[in-house]
Amino acid sequence: MSPNLCAFLDMLAVSEGTSTVKGSDNGYNVLYGGGLFHGYEDHPRQFLTFPIKGKLVTSSAAGRYQILLRFFEVYKRQLKLPDFGHDSQDKIAIQLIRECKALGDIEKGNLPAALAKCRSRWASLPGAGYGQHEQKLETLVKAYVRAGGQVA
């Protein structure tokens, strides 16, 4: 995996707020809402509800990249994943990035373009429009560079 792709994954974990959860395994064991799950044999399969901007939002998002259960089921089969461990979560995130056609932008260091292409997959990215907290571009650029990414 290239340094830019590794940095993008680290930046996603910062954006989703998972890698900064106290006691987490660099975000890999974080549930929607900030709780932790134990064991990587399978997606934790929990639907949790929290108020966001005045309305209740229920989600099965889990892991470093807040992967929804319904997507995990699809990608587990498609990518032949054995579990919900670190490597499996990374592979799902990379597949999502690939489907957004953002890998080339990441490799070139065109972070704004990559973020724009991926915002349909991660609610925390600028311009995602899901009604949840969105990170500022400047914050994500700093996280990306701090993780070793090169910006064009």
How confident is the model over 98-112, as pLDDT tens digits?
999 999 999 999 999
What integer pLDDT is reported at residue 130 of this predicted model? 82
The model's pTM = 0.94
Residue 115: the pLDDT is: 97
Residues 33-84 have pLDDT tens digits of 999 999 999 999 999 998 887 889 899 999 999 999 999 999 999 999 999 9
Q: Which residues are catalytic?
A: 16
Domains of the chain, CATH where assigned: 3-146 (1.10.530.10)
CA of 83: how far to CAs of 6, 34, 77, 92, 120, in Å?
21, 21, 11, 11, 25
pLDDT digits (tens, 9 = 90+) for 112-138: 999 999 999 999 999 898 878 889 999
